[in-house]
Amino acid sequence: MPDFHIVIVDDDAAIRDSLQIFLESPGRRVTCYPSGDAFLGAAAAPPDLLFLDLKMPGLSGLEVLRRLGRPAFPVVMISAHGDISAAVQAIRLGARDFVEKPFAPESIEETIAAIQTEGDRPKPGAGADPLAQLTQREREIALALNEGLANKEIARNYDISPRTVEVHRARIFEKTGVRNVAGLVRLIAGF
Amino acid sequence: MTGQNQIGDRRRYAEEQLAALISTAVDGIMCIDEAGRAELFNPACERIFGYAADEVIGQNIRMLMPPKYSEHHDGYIHSYVNTGVKKIIGIGREVEGMRKNGEVFPMDLSVGEFQHEGQRRFVGIVRDLSARAASERRLHELQNQVAHMGRVSAVAEMGSALAHELNQPLTAMTLYLTAAERAIIQDPEKAADLFRRSKVEAARAGEIVRRIRQMVERTDHDMAMFNLHEVVSVSLDLCRIADSERDCVIEVKGLATTFEAFGDATQIQQVVVNLVKNALDATAGQADRRVRITAKVSDMVELFIEDNGPGVAPGIRERLFTPFTSSKEKGLGIGLSICRNIAEAHGGDLDLLESIAPPEGLGGARFKMSLPLETRADA
């Protein structure tokens, strides 16, 4: 079996270096690029997984995604904490998931594990309402999350506590079988 | 005898007039002999110094001065009587007095002299300046508070960008340390290397925190010579950190690395940060982003900050330096008015100039901050 090839595109040298060292293990190969231009310009064989920073000088992460045009390989966006709306936009452009900086090393491994197993997960049938089993309030909140709103913003909009939003969120994820907001956005978008 | 009476009448009149003037004057009036002994101490003096007239009259007026003057006062009189060189007589100056309760206060003192039966006498007029000094101090404090508020609000506006910048080294550290933890048994040397790398990242995080703190800390308005080049460089670092796009070309021209200016370095840094941050905001989203800082030295130091953004809209121009008007969604609108206050408090100025089209200029907003080359410490 060939090595699982991971590419990291991030403008911060320390993030590239530390993520590479962290990810490298037998059976995995890691390549780094300091910018979107460098990555696209290399025109290398498609990786098995791409970690792509959202905020970079030159081509932004979103622009790289656009140019890749709904890539066939999974892309995980690296976003700044609180920049959920851009992350959600990235999911719409075809990214599989996102991790927020500063991320826990475990969450990176979980994300990779999920991507490696998710391939076999059955896709929801076309036309079926993916939110059918949700209550009215859960449905509203699911759509708000889909818009890239943060918990706090949702709480303010519906005049409920952020804690309540978290409870709803957990129920929504459980009922729809997704891991996180990224999964929810992909579910609603139907891919 | 009529003549004698008339003279006597006039004399009495003059004496009464003088007595009334002396007792009603708001300023303290006193008179001393050549030995420094008080002969006159009017009611205003009693109010100012807190002594009753009979406690002072006949005593050496050194008792009304803090030690740094009282030790030398006899010498001052002696030296004047011997040399005739006037140091205070007819000139007047700000000195310090000491009240009965020991409080030292600033006062304005003017001294005159006359001769009586071959003996010199000196008259002094004293004005208590402590109220004025207190209000100046209060004004000063308020100015510092406003400047501090401006720095806090500038950092608050950059807050999420600065937090993101702090997250970079923290993320890298966590990854290095996790990898080191895994390697420590099998490959201690690799682990040691990873520890070293995390230390570098910790230092990087510390440096960012230091920069932020420097901006939000209160200062005592320390006026001193400072390296202007260094202040500009630190300001640019902070702005670059907070600039989410990171693709702006910032150049500094005409500023020697050793160039020194006089003022409060933190406040000048605040002005530079504000102006450069505005320039970066103005050019955000452009494919080509340029900011240029040019220094010119004449009788003043002039710092020009120019960008290639769209410039300041005519409608905003007039109220640009008016507090609480902002064209930015999140801005408090106090940045530029505080910056102008700071420049003015330094004896300089801050202004928006006409844009200069390329190739000579960058075509966008152009600000000029001027600072005096040297300022008196008490200015």
The pLDDT mean for chain B works out to 86
Measured between beta carbons, the chain B residues lying within 8 angstroms of A17 are: 172, 197
Overall average pLDDT of the B91-117 stretch? 90
Q: What is the pLDDT of residue B225?
A: 87
Cβ distance of A102 and B174 shorter than 8 Å: yes
Which segments of chain B belong to CATH 3.30.565.10? 135-372
Please give the interface size between A and B, counted as residue pairs whose CB atoms are below 8 Å apart.
65
DSSP secondary structure code for residue A33 in this structure: E
Tell me, yes or no, if B168 comes closer than 8 A to chain A by beta carbon: yes
Alpha-carbon distances of B353 from A65, B250, B303, B315, B368, rounded to whole Å: 42, 19, 12, 15, 7
Place of tokens 């949700």: A134
B333 confidence band (pLDDT: 50, 70, 90): low
pLDDT in tens, B288-322: 999 999 999 888 899 999 999 999 888 788 778 87
Cβ distance of A14 and B169 shorter than 8 Å: yes
Overall average pLDDT of the B209-222 stretch? 73
Q: Cβ of A180: how many Cβ atoms within 10 Å? A: 17
Q: What is the pLDDT of residue A151?
A: 86
User: Digits of tens for pLDDT over chain A (191 positions)?
Assistant: 688 999 999 988 999 999 999 999 889 999 999 999 999 998 788 999 999 998 887 888 999 999 998 888 999 999 876 677 888 888 888 898 888 888 888 889 988 988 888 654 545 554 567 788 888 889 889 988 888 888 888 999 888 998 999 999 999 998 888 888 888 888 887 76
Q: What angle, rounded to 10 degrees, do the helices at B188-216 and B228-242 form?
A: 110
Q: What is the pLDDT of residue B261?
A: 86
Q: What angle, rounded to 10 degrees, do the helices at B188-216 and B130-157 form?
A: 140
Is residue B378 predicted with pLDDT exceeding 60? no
Out of A14, A58, A80, whose CB is closest to B172? Answer: A14
Picking from A11, A25, A101, A109 by the largest number of B CB atoms within 10 A of its own CB, the best residue to mutate is A101
CB contact at 8 A, A96 and A90:
no
Q: Three-state DSSP class for B33? A: strand
A180, two tokens: 């996180």
- Cα–Cα distance for residue pair B233/B296, rounded to 1 Å: 17
**Phi-psi domain of B232 (left: phi exceeds 0; alpha: psi -120 through 50; beta: other):** alpha
Alpha-carbon distances of B243 from A81, A171, B161, B187, B279, rounded to whole Å: 16, 38, 7, 40, 11
- Cα–Cα distance for residue pair B28/B19, rounded to 1 Å: 13
Q: Closest Cα of chain A to B194: distance in Å?
A: 9
Q: Rounded to a whole number, what is the distance in angstroms from the first to the last CA of chain B?
A: 63
CB contact at 8 A, B231 and B268:
yes
Fold equal for A4-118 and A136-189? no
A153, two tokens: 């913003």
Q: For the domain A136-189, what is the CATH code? A: 1.10.10.10
| B347 phi/psi in degrees, rounded to 5 | 85, 15
Higher pLDDT, B221 or A174: A174
pLDDT in tens, A108-128: 998 898 888 865 454 555 456
Picking from A21, A79, A85, A103 by the largest number of B CB atoms within 10 A of its own CB, the best residue to mutate is A21
Cβ distance of A80 and B167 shorter than 8 Å: yes
DSSP secondary structure code for residue B60 in this structure: B
* CATH architecture of the domain with range B135-372: 2-Layer Sandwich (3.30)
Place of tokens 């993101």: B164
Q: Write down the domain spans for chain A.
A: 4-118, 136-189
CB contact at 8 A, B348 and B356:
no
Q: B246 Cβ partners below 8 Å, 6+ apart?
A: A11, A55, A56, A57, B240
Measured between beta carbons, the chain B residues lying within 8 angstroms of A56 are: 246
Is residue B377 predicted with pLDDT exceeding 50? no
Tell me, yes or no, if B245 comes closer than 8 A to chain A by beta carbon: yes
Alpha-carbon distances of B301 from A107, B147, B269, B372, rounded to whole Å: 53, 21, 15, 6
Portion of chain B with pLDDT greater than 70, in percent: 92
Q: What is the pLDDT of residue A119?
A: 59
In chain B, how many H helices and how many E strands? 11, 12
B149 confidence band (pLDDT: 50, 70, 90): confident
Overall average pLDDT of the B45-63 stretch? 94
Overall average pLDDT of the B256-280 stretch? 88
Tell me, yes or no, if A19 comes closer than 8 A to chain B by beta carbon: yes
B5 confidence band (pLDDT: 50, 70, 90): confident
> How does DSSP assign B115-139, residue by residue?
EETTEEEEEEEEEE-HHHHHHHHHH
Q: What is the pLDDT of residue A66?
A: 92
Q: Three-state DSSP class for A66? A: helix
**Out of 3.40.50.1370, 3.40.50.2300, 3.40.50.300, 3.40.50.150, which CATH number does the structure's domain A4-118 have?**
3.40.50.2300
Is residue B59 predicted with pLDDT exceeding 60? yes
Q: What is the pLDDT of residue B37?
A: 93
Q: What is the pLDDT of residue B374?
A: 67
Q: What is the pLDDT of residue B379?
A: 36
* CATH architecture of the domain with range B2-128: 2-Layer Sandwich (3.30)
- Cα–Cα distance for residue pair B340/B352, rounded to 1 Å: 11
Q: What is the pLDDT of residue A122?
A: 47
Predicted TM-score (pTM) of this structure: 0.59
Q: What is the pLDDT of residue B136?
A: 83
DSSP secondary structure code for residue A133 in this structure: T
Overall average pLDDT of the B10-25 stretch? 91
Q: B320 Cβ partners below 8 Å, 6+ apart?
A: B312, B336, B352
Is residue B1 predicted with pLDDT exceeding 80? no
CB contact at 8 A, A183 and A121:
no
